[in-house]
Amino acid sequence: MNLKINGDFKSVETSQLDPNMEEIIEKLELNPKLIVVEYNGAILDKQNWKSQIVQEGDILEIVTIVGGGS
């Protein structure tokens, strides 16, 4: 499956014909506790990852949350 992720086109191998967002995040080897996902222009609540089907050509912006400070 080809997706546009953070401005770059990437091919993601999936085990399902219509994978959900949770599977895509897993395949990208990202920690779901540390990211925010924008799906086709809208922030996608983590509670909806299992029900959100991802399709060929969808656009994802994935932001990693970084802690720290002084």
- Is the per-residue pLDDT at 16 higher than 90? no
Please report the domains of the chain, with CATH numbers, ordered by start residue: 2-64 (3.10.20.30)
- Is the per-residue pLDDT at 70 higher than 80? no
Contact 12, 20 (CB under 8 A): no
* pLDDT at 37 (0 to 100): 98
* pLDDT at 57 (0 to 100): 97
Contact 35, 60 (CB under 8 A): no
- Is the per-residue pLDDT at 69 higher than 70? no
Tens digits of per-residue pLDDT, 22-55? 999 999 999 999 999 999 999 999 999 999 999 9
Give the per-residue SS3 of 16-60: CCCCEHHHHHHHCCCCHHHEEEEECCEEECHHHCCCCECCCCCEE
